[in-house]
Amino acid sequence: MDPIPVVVQSDASAGALAGWVLGWAAAVAAAAWLTARIIPWLRRHGAVVPASAEGGDRGMPRGGGLVIVAVVLVAALGVCAVDRDAAVRLAGGLLPAAGVAIVSLRDDFRPLPALGRLAVHVAAAAAATATLGPVREITVPSLGTMQLGAAAWPCTIVWIAGLTNAFNFMDGIDGIAGIVTAAIATALAVAAATLGMPAVAVVSTALSAAALGFLSCNWHPARVFMGDVGSTWCGFLVAVLPLVPPAGAGRAALLQVAACAAWPFLFDTGWTLLKRIWHFENVLVAHRGHIYQRLVSAGWSHRGVATLYGGLTALAGAVAVAPLLDDVLRSTADTVALAGICVGAALLLILASDSVKAERQRAPSS
């Protein structure tokens, strides 16, 4: 009698996996179709990169990330209709994200003051924290658990608002924000499905599919830019989706996956911000000092840089998810992840240093 339930479970698992793949493929196709069709609409309504903007061609439409917002919201509405228990917590994360997206879409059409946008990001992060609850502890198996205490609220708000802005800052070349979003969201989807969190798994899958579909028109040479509406939406969701489940081991595991997978964007943003502060530069003014921008200036192609960051993200995500699938890996996973991040960060710094040298060598001849 024992083999019967095993076979049934295997068939059910195979059917569920097929359903996930078909749903993911349908979302990719829908996002690609919608992105191609939103480009003329953005042009007609003036959502284009102005001639004075750096990092984009004059007249290139921006705001295409609105498609990513739409695909994810449709998936979330489907989840809420089926799972009423998850609806409240999903709304607690997605409604503040939608507020950020609305303000960011307005900025794509008519630029808003940087401080005003930052205030909206912080307010939305505070709203999500109030609804979902703050992160009260950080656990690294080999190092132990650190209780945040009174710092729980500010740390959670900084995590959400910081990642939102990191994605916004890093969305400066063709394809980079899309491929990184797809990699992180895929890792979150696998982790959530493994941990028995179907609501987060579905929304993460939709985010992954929407980002990949958008890349059909955003991979170099891009036909449309993601814009603030897309980059802030992706960053906010990557930060807030791990907080949707109630506090517990599963929530902590999702947060670790998100933080580990997002390290290339977090590191580039953090390193650049510290350098600008060290040199007393205005951090709210546009610049070309990010590592990825240095690589492009040194002669790297947009495709090459985007692939580098996407590959580092995917590798980190796989390392973070692996111990959830195999208990044997759990004891060494955090050590491997930390080592990988250190090696990856050193690689980016070396490449950035080489790019600066290459720029200086070309300067006299220009």
Per residue in 152-209, pLDDT (tens digit) is 999 999 999 999 999 999 999 999 999 999 999 999 999 999 999 999 999 999 999 9
Q: Phi, psi (5° rounding) for residue 44? A: -60, -35
Answer yes or no: is 76 within a domain. Answer: yes
Answer yes or no: is 348 within a domain. Answer: no
Answer yes or no: is 275 within a domain. Answer: no
Answer yes or no: is 302 within a domain. Answer: no
> Residue 187: which domain range?
19-262
Residue linked to tokens 């499905």: 193
Low-confidence winner among 18-22, 36-40, 93-97, 235-239 (lowest mean pLDDT): 18-22
pLDDT band, residue 340 (cuts 50/70/90): confident
Answer yes or no: is 5 within a domain. Answer: no
- Whether residue 221 has a cis bond before it, omega within 30° of 0: yes
Answer yes or no: is 190 within a domain. Answer: yes
CA distance 61 to 43: 6
CA distance 176 to 183: 11
Question: In the structure encoding, which two tokens stand for residue 191, read together?
Answer: 């982790």
Task: Give the model confidence (pLDDT) of 272-323 as tens digits.
Answer: 999 888 888 777 676 778 999 999 988 899 999 999 999 999 999 999 998 8
Non-local CB neighbours of 129 within 8 Å, separated by 6+ positions: 153, 156, 157, 160, 243
Higher pLDDT, 357 or 272: 272
CA distance 203 to 226: 19
pTM score of the predicted model:
0.90
Name the domain count of the chain: 1
Answer yes or no: is 256 within a domain. Answer: yes
Low-confidence winner among 28-32, 126-130, 242-246 (lowest mean pLDDT): 242-246
Answer yes or no: is 6 within a domain. Answer: no
Higher pLDDT, 83 or 318: 318
